[in-house]
Amino acid sequence: RQHRWRCAEVTFTCPEGELSVMLLLLLLLLLLFTANRPKHLLIYINPYGGKRQGKRIYEQKVAPLFAAAGVSTDVIVTEYANHARDHLRTEAELKKYDGVVCVGGDGMFSEIIHGLIWRTQIDGAVDPNCPDETLQTCSLRIGIIPAGSTDCICFATVGTNDPVTSALHIIVGDSQPMDVCSVHHNNAFLRYSVSLLGYGFYGDVLTDSERKRWMGPARYDLSGLKMFLTHHYYEGTVSYLPARGIIGTPRDAARCRSGCVVCQHNGKLLTERSENDGEWRTIRGKFLAINAASMSCACPRSPKGLSPAAHLADGTTDLILVRKCSRFDFLRHLLRHTSKDDQFDLTFVEVHRVRRFRFTPRHCQSDSDLELDLLGNASKRQIFSQICRDHPACGCAPAYSCWNCDGEILTHTAIDVRVHCQLIKLFARGIEEPAVFEDLANPCAI
Ligand SMILES: CCCCCCCCCCCCC/C=C/[C@@H](O)[C@H](COP(=O)(O)O)NC(=O)CCCCCCCCCCCCCCC
Ligand SMILES: Nc1ncnc2c1ncn2[C@@H]1O[C@H](COP(=O)(O)OP(=O)(O)O)[C@@H](O)[C@H]1O
Ligand SMILES: [Ca+2]
């Protein structure tokens, strides 16, 4: 039910001893040679993620399943932030393993991909600082045991946040490719993102919530309410390269599901064609939020997610622009994330499926703009917003927000984002259609 998996024992009886031995051998051979099951895993546990239950969840719910399935493990409980990332980058003997597993939230998953992707590029002599390089795909699959606050990457790839379900997907050796966005600033690498890149509302929610980490997952609701009431907007320029020739749009009724044909088709297409095909488009404006969702970003707070029709592995990201509007209208938009109504069907919201995009905030738009400022031609508003950034007590709106990159704060505001199609693989199979479950639950149907 609801995508949750459980262990069950099945006992076969066989009247002939010899036949039973042959059946057993056949089963063992099938498991060994046809299923791509991991035998040796490297596991990182964040003991401080979510409700600080990572270690307990792993020991009580996951370790017994790995032991029963004959999967051997090397377990590292992290001692500081970026411990897992740095260990993967330099020390870990990756050849020994069939996969890497993280126990924690989206932040912990982010550490793992940063370690693995970086290591793969360095080993393959690819320069990660160059935004135009074609990155090498990572061969090790990644598993997520959810023990964080939002756990949207687990939810959007498995359909539920349940440690036992995730452990079983790892054991049976499922494989789900996934897109990764690289984020650069002036030809310097900043971060990778797989779920949400959000400027404005989600950036501000994250900054505010980090000060309330002691509250656990509820910090996001409180900071969400606070930033909703604060209602800041930000000026800037977004330019993007629309995804051309692919199938699927952000307004489709169809969803990315297990064995998704859209991901298969677009993945094949993008490996054959130059991604720079097409013309850049530019939009200037005042925005409450600029969000790029590379996957639906479904999570328990919003089961359909930020961009319900986004795909896990189609080589694109959905760029959602929410322009300045009234608080009431913004609330209508937010509330639609929790209902069947279309959150994009509002005059102040637009959504584009893109391969690449750039953002420049208003105050660092170009050198000529700056020169104008210095010459004293800048409007009073510009001068005041400059002053007020340094004097938050006056309560006027700040000029800059920050980017929320899979739940980590980015220090740069001007960024260049590019989607790398199917760069990593997860121990998951995407969300399965409910009809499949009903059939399997009913032996007569089979
Ligand atoms: C009024 C209700 C509105 C509900 C709107 C919900 C939209 C939720 C979309 C969530 C997208 C989440 C994308 C995932 C981000 C994560 O990578 C990332 C890190 O996760 P981790 O902590 O596990 O490491 N998580 C986050 O950045 C958290 C984002 C959470 C945003 C919550 C926003 C709540 C908004 C509440 C507004 C309340 C208005 C009420 C007015 C009466
Ligand atoms: N041992 C540790 N001590 C402190 N911070 C850690 C540790 N291990 C990982 N982190 C950091 O904790 C942050 C939150 O981790 P995450 O697992 O995503 O939990 P949550 O979902 O609650 O945010 C991440 O930025 C990660 O880098
Ligand atoms: Ca995608």
pLDDT of 346 > 80? The answer is yes
pLDDT recorded at residue 128: 92
Q: Which of 98, 106, 151, 162 is flagged as catalytic?
A: 106
* Alpha carbons 243 and 394: distance in angstroms, whole number: 43
Cα(426) to centroid(ligand 2), Å: 20
pLDDT digits 0-9 by tens, 398-410: 789 999 999 999 9
CA atoms within a 13 Å half-sphere pointing along the CA-CB vector of 310: 33
Any ligand 1 atom below 6 A from CB of 212: no
pLDDT recorded at residue 273: 66
Residue 77's Cβ-count burial label (10 Å; 0-12, 13-18, 19+) is middle
Residue 298 tokens read as 């479904």
* Alpha carbons 424 and 422: distance in angstroms, whole number: 6
SS3 percent helix, strand, coil of the chain, rounded to 5, is 35, 25, 40
pLDDT tier, 441 (very low <50, low <70, confident <90, very high otherwise): low
Residue 390 tokens read as 């340094």
Which residues are paired to 323 by β-bridges?
287
* Alpha carbons 391 and 399: distance in angstroms, whole number: 12
pLDDT recorded at residue 137: 95
Cα(270) to centroid(ligand 2), Å: 34
Q: In the chain, pLDDT over 90 holds for what percent of residues?
A: 77
pLDDT digits 0-9 by tens, 352-398: 999 999 999 987 544 444 444 444 444 444 444 444 444 444 555 67
CA 276 to chain centre: 24
Residue 389's Cβ-count burial label (10 Å; 0-12, 13-18, 19+) is middle
Residues 6 or more apart whose CB falls under 8 angstroms from that of 24 comprise none
**Core vs surface per residue 294-321: b (16+ CB within 10 A) or e:** bbbbbbebbebbbbbbbbbbbbbbbbbb
Residues 6 or more apart whose CB falls under 8 angstroms from that of 326 comprise none
ipTM score of the complex?
0.94
**Residue ranges of the domains in the chain?**
17-175+427-441, 189-421
pLDDT recorded at residue 435: 58
Minimum CA distance residue for ligand 2 atom 24: 107
* Alpha carbons 337 and 332: distance in angstroms, whole number: 9
CATH number for 189-421: choose from 3.40.640.10, 3.40.50.12280, 2.60.200.40, 3.40.50.880: 2.60.200.40
3-state secondary structure of 45: strand
CA atoms within a 13 Å half-sphere pointing along the CA-CB vector of 219: 22
Q: Which of the listed residues 48, 103, 205, 404 should we mutate to test ligand 2's pocket, taking the one with most ligand atoms within 8 A of CB? A: 48
Minimum CA distance residue for ligand 2 atom 11: 81
Active site residue 345: no
Of the chain, the end-to-end C-alpha distance in Å amounts to 18
What is the DSSP code (8-state) at residue 61?
I
Any ligand 1 atom below 6 A from CB of 225: yes
pLDDT of 439 > 70? The answer is no
**Core vs surface per residue 394-419: b (16+ CB within 10 A) or e:** eeeeebbbbbbbbbbebebbbbbbbb
pLDDT digits 0-9 by tens, 283-340: 999 999 999 999 999 999 999 999 999 999 999 999 999 999 999 999 999 999 999 9
Q: Which of the listed residues 53, 103, 183, 202 should we mutate to test ligand 1's pocket, taking the one with most ligand atoms within 8 A of CB? A: 202
Cα(247) to centroid(ligand 1), Å: 29
Pocket lined around ligand 2, Cβ cut-off 6 Å: 46-50, 78-83, 104-108, 111, 148-150, 407-408
Residue type, 248: G
pLDDT tier, 421 (very low <50, low <70, confident <90, very high otherwise): very high
Question: Can you point out the beta strands (E) in 203-253?
Answer: 234-242
Cα(294) to centroid(ligand 3), Å: 4
pLDDT recorded at residue 383: 40
Minimum CA distance residue for ligand 1 atom 12: 297
Residues 6 or more apart whose CB falls under 8 angstroms from that of 302 comprise 337, 338
Residue 6 tokens read as 């459980």
What is the DSSP code (8-state) at residue 338?
G
Cα(215) to centroid(ligand 2), Å: 14
CA atoms within a 13 Å half-sphere pointing along the CA-CB vector of 80: 3
Any ligand 1 atom below 6 A from CB of 406: yes
Which residues are paired to 359 by β-bridges?
238, 415
Q: Which of the listed residues 48, 78, 102, 106 should we mutate to test ligand 1's pocket, taking the one with most ligand atoms within 8 A of CB? A: 106
CATH number for 17-175+427-441: choose from 2.50.20.10, 3.40.50.10330, 3.90.1170.40, 3.40.50.261: 3.40.50.10330
Find tokens 């009724």 and name the residue. 253
Cα(371) to centroid(ligand 2), Å: 42
* Dihedral, CA of residue 260, residue 262, residue 266 and residue 268, to nearest 10: 50
pLDDT of 35 > 60? The answer is yes
